[in-house]
Amino acid sequence: MTVLDFKEIPRANQSNGEQDAFELFARDFLLMAGYSIKRGPDRGQDAGRDLIAVETRKGVGGETIVRWLVSCKHKAHSGNSTVLSDEPDILERVQSHDCCGFIGFYSTLPASSLTNRLKGLEENRGLHYQIFDRASIESQLLSSLEGLTLAERYFPNSIKTWRRENPQPANLFEIDETLTCEACGKPLLEPPEGIVGFGFNFIQVNGQTRERYEDIYWCCRGACDRELRRRFRSQNLMDGWRDLSDLCIPSAYLKFTNSIIFQLQTGTQYSEQYHKKLEHLVIQLFPHISRELTSREREKIEELDGLDVLFGGLF
């Protein structure tokens, strides 16, 4: 699914002061990718080039300098592909600017007529070429912090939506701690997955029946969960569970912490071990919930509202 909406970059064929935005984006993208820019965007007759980029290739035999003629075509607003007639006289343009390679920087896709022409020039005339289309541009932008920073500048609305749907834990603590499976040691928060199990029984306090929580664990689903659940049952404890990923949903986490307050207020007892481990769990989950809900999490909350707490529902 496409993340970046290239229509956020203004059209290149309107004289509104922002017609150079796509070329400026191409310049910044290539700088991020490691090229240097010898000729940047300018207005007026450009003799068939938008940018000239220089690539330095280092190998065992030394450095090789490759000059690239960069042609930018911003057709996202129409949705049309870049066709051969959009790129006339490719070889002549490359040679006239003292370059040896051609870069097509496009907000849509190149048509087969254009790619076939470039392949022919590569095979028959030795022309180097690269195509950055919307998919390859997006892939590079989303794969690094530097790329995300650049994308946020040119695609602010797209990145805002993407960050909401792809949340990262807040950087709150000086020391990075995490939750690991108590059976096998696997990290459980990268991404959040697994089970939180709690063992409890009932006791009599002043003639009233109260819950007393004795222990809590977090682990992988399946074999690890079964192993730790057997430990509870060997101690004659009843058990319930919560899905760890559900507890990383902000509103579910809030209901979970509110339920702790309610339990303590109504006389539920916690053992010292349960209290210490519960505190650790709450602290470790907090960086993962300091954010907005994703669309999927909003749907999940509706599902959880209908489940009993002992079977993974909300308190």
Q: Report the distance separating Cα 283 and Cα 257, nearest Å.
A: 11
Whether residue 136 is found in the same domain as residue 222: no
What's the structural domain count of the chain? 2
Continuous segment of H or E residues that includes residue 276: helix 272-289
Assign residue 82 the CATH number of its domain. 3.40.1350.10
Model pLDDT, residue 179: 92
Would you say 106 and 77 are in contact if contact means Cβ atoms under 8 Å apart?
A: no
For position 103, what pLDDT does the model report?
98
Q: What is the pLDDT of residue 46?
A: 65
Instruction: Note whether 284 and 189 are within 8 A (CB).
Output: yes
Evaluate whether residue 240 is within a structural domain: yes
pLDDT string in tens for the chain (315-residue length): 789 999 999 998 777 768 899 999 999 999 999 999 999 887 656 667 899 999 998 888 788 999 999 999 999 999 999 999 999 999 999 999 999 999 999 999 999 999 999 999 999 999 999 999 999 999 999 999 899 999 999 999 999 999 888 888 877 666 666 899 999 999 999 889 999 999 999 999 888 999 999 999 999 999 999 999 999 999 999 999 999 999 999 999 999 999 999 999 999 999 999 999 999 999 999 988 887 778 888 787 777 776 555 445 554
Residues 6+ apart with CB under 8 A from 74: 6, 9, 11, 12, 22, 106, 107
Which one of 165, 183, 211 terminates a domain? 165
The three-point CA angle 43-48-50 to 5° equals 50
Does 161 fall in a domain? yes
One domain for residues 250 and 203? yes
Task: Let me know if residue 26 belongs to a domain.
Answer: yes
Residue carrying structure tokens 């195509």: 131
The model's pTM: 0.68
The three-class DSSP label of residue 156 is: helix
Judge whether 10 lies within some domain: yes
The domain in which residue 225 lies consists of 195-304
Considering the domain architecture, whether residues 229 and 294 belong to the same structural domain is answered as: yes
Closest by CA position to 22, among listed 162, 149, 132: 132
Whether residues 117 and 221 share a domain: the answer is: no
Q: Are residues 39 and 157 in the same domain?
A: yes
Instruction: Tell whether 143 is covered by a domain.
Output: yes
Distance CA 315, CA 305 (A): 8
- The verdict on 44 and 92 lying in the same domain is yes
Final residue of a structural domain among 120, 145, 165: 165
